[in-house]
Amino acid sequence: MGQKDSSNQYETDLLHSFVLSEFSAPKKFPNEFHPFLKNEWQLLIEQVRSIELNIIKNLPIPGLEAFYHGAIGHMISCNFYPKVDKSQSINLRLSKHVDVSLFTVFVFGASEGFAFQNLKNETQVLALTDNIIIFPGYLLEFLTNGKYKALEHQVDFLNPHRERYSFAFFSLPKPNLTLKFMDRTFTSEAYFKNYLSLF
C-alpha cells in the first residue's frame, strides 16, 4: 500500500497484494504456501480453466481456443483492503483500470465495493455475491483489436471501516513465448509492455 514504484498499481490505491502463479517454481514462494501449491493449486486451476473454456467455446473468435491451450497460464492476485480512515484518502479503494488478463475470475464471489463501467458507460455497483464472477481483461481486447472490450472496474468506499478481501485469477500469456494470433506475431513481453503503457 502506498508503493510509489509499482508498475501496475497506483500509489493512492489502498490495498496490500500478493501474487501466486504457475510461472515461478513453488519453492520460490514462502513455506506457508507450499501445502496449498502442492495439494490445491492444480485442482483450482483446472476449475478456472473449465469456466474460461466454456465461455471461449461460445465466443465467435476463430483461433481463441487453440491460443488459450498453447499460450495461457494462471496467477492469482490475493488482495487485502484494510480498514481505513476515509479522510486520508481519495474517492476509491482501487482506481479504475482494466486487468492484464484474458479473463479475470473471482472464484469466491465479490465483496461489497466492486463497481464497473456498464454498456451505457455508467459506473454500476455489483451487489455482494457468492457466485463466481468472470469478466474480460485487456488481452481479449488486444487479441480482437478492440472488438471485445476489457471491463473497466474499480473498488469504491462503501464501508471504509470494514476490511475487504478479493481473490482474482488472471489468465495470462506464459512468459518468454512468441505468440501468434490471427495475422499477428508478438512476444508475451511485448504484450505486457503494451498493457503497462496504459498506466
Binding residues (CB under 5 A) for Fe ion: these are 99
Backbone φ and ψ for 156, nearest 5 degrees, come out as: -90, 165
Which one, 63 or 165, has the nearer CB to Fe ion? Answer: 165
Nearest distance in Å: CB 66, Fe ion:
27
Lay out the sheet containing 114-117: strands in order across.
Answer: 92-97, 153-156, 114-117, 123-125
Residue with cell 518468454: 176
Nearest distance in Å: CB 98, Fe ion:
7
Amino acid at 23: F
Nearest distance in Å: CB 153, Fe ion:
6
Which one, 56 or 94, has the nearer CB to Fe ion? Answer: 94
CA distance 177 to 71: 8
Which one, 13 or 99, has the nearer CB to Fe ion? Answer: 99
Which one, 18 or 38, has the nearer CB to Fe ion? Answer: 18
Nearest distance in Å: CB 26, Fe ion:
25
CA distance 141 to 148: 5
Residue 101: how many other CB atoms lie within 10 Å? 26
Nearest distance in Å: CB 34, Fe ion:
27
Q: Which residue is nearest to Fe ion (CB)?
A: 99
CA distance 102 to 174: 12
Which one, 51 or 133, has the nearer CB to Fe ion? Answer: 133
> Contact at 8 Å (CB) between 9 and 1?
no
